[in-house]
Chains A and B, each alone.
Chain A
Amino acid sequence: GAGVSQTPSNKVTEKGKYVELRCDPISGHTALYWYRQSLGQGPEFLIYFQGTGAADDSGLPNDRFFAVRPEGSVSTLKIQRTERGDSAVYLCASSLVGPLNTEAFFGQGTRLTVV
């Protein structure tokens, strides 16, 4: 595609529910990143994929958060038993090869609101 696409653009869910956020990276990009941005803050790193595998998941806040990238392209961020504190904009980015010397392109994000 022309850019990184994230769906849905907005998601409202009730506390305790399960949600999935989808990221379609730029075609051919092997590296994919997830970040979370709370209001008035900079993005916080969650997880980085190189191909199908999670190369670094050190930013996932707890075991309610999980992400997959089974075929090395589309990625899904999954949040179980959502809490109000999970409300944020979830940003996805991709880069052609790895994170070094190749620019990461960001999507417009999914705004998650947990009520």
Chain B
Amino acid sequence: KQEVTQIPAALSVPEGENLVLNCSFTDSAIYNLQWFRQDPGKGLTSLLLIQSSQREQTSGRLNASLDKSSGRSTLYIAASQPGDSATYLCAVRLIANAGGTSYGKLTFGQGTILTVHP
């Protein structure tokens, strides 16, 4: 069974700092990995999607890396701003198999609550 763990559970930083959020997963047979942002009382917004054959993806101040063999991904946020405050979730999509895993299922970590204070 795939398990996804995110460290730290919560992080508080002053504005302007660069920071790293960590995600680890137990089953390396993944199709892709995705980072989401969730604001209080809201749904999820996709930030970055990394295919299993890729090492990293970048979007603006965000950079996500993937090391499939070690079961790890990191989300790097440069020059953090108060507007970045949210919960960040990592999710993996396993390669579908006859045992019942379908491509439709994302397995999420529990999230990292980020607070960026002015």
Contact = CB atoms under 8 A, between A and B. Distances in A.
Given A99-B93, A108-B42, A108-B43, A55 B108 contact: no
Given A91-B44, A104-B46, A108-B43, A42 B4 contact: yes
Interface of B: 4, 31, 41-46, 49, 89, 91, 93, 100-111
A6 to B, nearest CB: 8
Given A40-B110, A41-B110, A42-B108, A100 B43 contact: no
Interface of A: 4, 31, 33, 35, 40-45, 48, 50, 55-56, 58-59, 91, 93, 98-100, 103-109
Contacts of B110: 40-42
A42 B104 contact: no
Nearest to B51: A101
A109 B110 CA distance: 17
10 contacts: A33-B104, A35-B106, A43-B108, A44-B108, A58-B102, A91-B44, A93-B43, A93-B44, A98-B103, A99-B93
Given A45-B107, A103-B49, A104-B46, A58 B100 contact: yes
Given A42-B91, A106-B44, A108-B43, A99 B103 contact: yes
A56 B104 contact: yes
A104 B89 CA distance: 14
Given A42-B89, A43-B44, A56 B111 contact: no
A4 B4 contact: no
A45 B106 CA distance: 7
A109 B41 CA distance: 8
A98 B103 CA distance: 8
A4 to B, nearest CB: 7
A25 to B, nearest CB: 13
Central interface residue in B43, B45, B89, by most chain A CB within 10 Å = B43
Contacts of A106: 43-45
A108 B42 CA distance: 5
